[in-house]
């Protein structure tokens, strides 16, 4: 099952790409609630070297309110993670969770149309970067 939507970007750097990603998220009503630097965390905790890799915890309050109203425990699946990572060839990948795939496990048919709306918004984010 495909659980993420992705876009590969060349000729950029992590700092610029992160800034562009955050701006694209804002344009679709998402804010970044959390940021995890996986490269630094894995180095600190396991003393392992990895290429740059950041996880942004993005939330659109309107969508979050709607889905929590329909299914309160869905909060265990929030926020929507968007990742930015450097690939071995020097390019970068931006990826976002596919909410329609993730929420497919939820036994509430009212959730799926909203999950599709969120996926479409995240796809527009990737398209704008």
Question: How many separate domains does the chain show?
Answer: 1
DSSP 107: S
pTM of this structure? 0.93
d(CA 26, CA 125): 9
Residues 21 and 125 sit within 8 Å (Cβ to Cβ):
yes
**pLDDT tens-digit series, residues 65-122:** 999 999 999 999 999 999 999 999 999 999 999 999 988 888 899 999 999 999 999 9
Which domain range does residue 13 map to? 4-128
Cα of 74 vs its chain's centroid, Å: 16
d(CA 49, CA 114): 39
Does residue 62 register a pLDDT over 90? Answer: yes
Does residue 1 register a pLDDT over 70? Answer: no
Residues 97 and 80 sit within 8 Å (Cβ to Cβ):
yes
Give the CA distances from residue 116 to residues 25, 82, 87, in Å, rounded to whole numbers and listed in that order.
17, 16, 28
The CATH number assigned to the domain holding 116 equals 3.30.310.70
For residue 103, the model assigns a pLDDT of 87
């Amino acid at each position: 099952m495909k659980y993420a939507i992705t876009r590969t970007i060349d000729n950029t750097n992590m700092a610029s790409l992160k800034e562009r990603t955050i701006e694209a998220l804002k344009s679709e009503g998402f804010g970044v609630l959390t940021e995890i630097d996986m490269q630094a965390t894995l180095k600190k905790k396991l003393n392992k070297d990895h290429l740059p890799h950041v996880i942004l915890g993005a939330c659109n309050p309107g969508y979050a309110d709607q889905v929590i109203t329909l299914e309160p425990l869905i909060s265990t699946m929030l926020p929507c993670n968007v990742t930015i990572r450097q690939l071995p060839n020097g390019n970068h990948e931006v990826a976002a969770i596919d909410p329609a795939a993730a929420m497919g496990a939820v036994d509430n048919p009212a959730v799926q149309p909203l999950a599709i709306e969120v996926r479409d918004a995240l796809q527009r984010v990737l398209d704008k970067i």
